[in-house]
């Protein structure tokens, strides 16, 4: 009975997935998103409220004035389509980690430890913030939710074909294989896209793109030795990232029209 149901379900599932294929913002590449834009924003807002309810924020004006100023300059540099699509906000968490992250609602979180690491350098801060803004514009959260959903569907279909006694082991192998071969590489690809689109924004706002190079040189010198193997990481290695961003900066300085148009076609990005 289950087999017959799957035979009926698969064509419908394929049709549904095809209908959810769309063009990615800025790069124009094809992407698959099963989550609506409004659902994505609502999820981000809910998560932001939870974080703000339990985390302590930095109120020291030495930090807040700089972060708010840089953030506003970057948001003002966005094309109206993206500037008005979200309720952009930035928050500084009083945490020691060198980190920052974005939520699909347009909420950007920067850790105090990162600001100390870059010694409140305006250009390097702009590099970090523009990267996180790019994640939001590119709808990377929606893509990740979609990929996770597809992985879960694949797991159900696979385990349905395996005897119950062997399903525990099969589940472990499947999850490991999907993570290493599918989800982690996809996450690294998203980081590369956010680096590129972030640089477009950085340059549109009038910042020196060499600040992105100096930031990743600092990251490489400080963290490269302790990083896990790239194939087990959600992010490219710092050394690879430094080389890639250096090439990208050189390319964009020679082709400023991509910055003006705020477009970087996927086929161009793949060659860099």
Catalytic residues: 132
Counting every residue, how long is the chain?
272
> What is the Cα–Cα distance from 26 to 245, expressed in whole angstroms?
18
- The DSSP code for 208 is -
């Amino acid at each position: 009975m289950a087999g017959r149901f799957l035979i009926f379900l698969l064509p419908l599932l394929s049709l549904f997935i095809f209908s959810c294929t769309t063009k990615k913002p800025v790069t124009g590449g094809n992407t698959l998103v099963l989550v609506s834009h409004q659902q994505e924003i609502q999820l981000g807002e809910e998560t932001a409220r939870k974080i703000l309810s339990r985390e302590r924020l930095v109120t020291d004006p030495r930090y807040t004035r700089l972060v708010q100023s840089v953030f506003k300059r970057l948001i003002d540099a966005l094309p109206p389509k993206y500037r008005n699509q979200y309720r952009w906000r930035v928050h500084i968490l009083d945490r020691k980690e060198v980190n920052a992250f974005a939520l699909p609602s347009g909420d950007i979180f920067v850790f105090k430890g990162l600001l100390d690491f870059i010694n409140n350098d305006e250009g390097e801060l702009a590099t970090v913030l523009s990267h996180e803004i790019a994640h939001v514009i590119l709808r990377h959260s929606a893509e990740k939710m979609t990929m996770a959903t597809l992985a879960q569907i694949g797991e159900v279909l696979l385990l349905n074909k395996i005897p119950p006694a062997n399903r525990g082991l099969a589940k472990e192998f499947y999850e490991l294989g999907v993570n290493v071969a599918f989800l982690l590489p996809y996450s690294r690809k998203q980081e590369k896209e956010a680096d590129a689109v972030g640089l477009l924004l950085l340059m549109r706002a009038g910042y020196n793109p060499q600040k992105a190079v100096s930031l990743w040189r600092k990251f490489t010198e400080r963290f490269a030795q302790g990083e896990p193997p790239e194939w087990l990481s959600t992010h490219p290695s710092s050394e690879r990232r430094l080389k890639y961003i250096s090439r990208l900066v050189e390319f964009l300085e020679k082709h400023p029209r991509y910055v003006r148009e705020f477009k970087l076609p996927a086929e161009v990005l793949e060659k860099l």
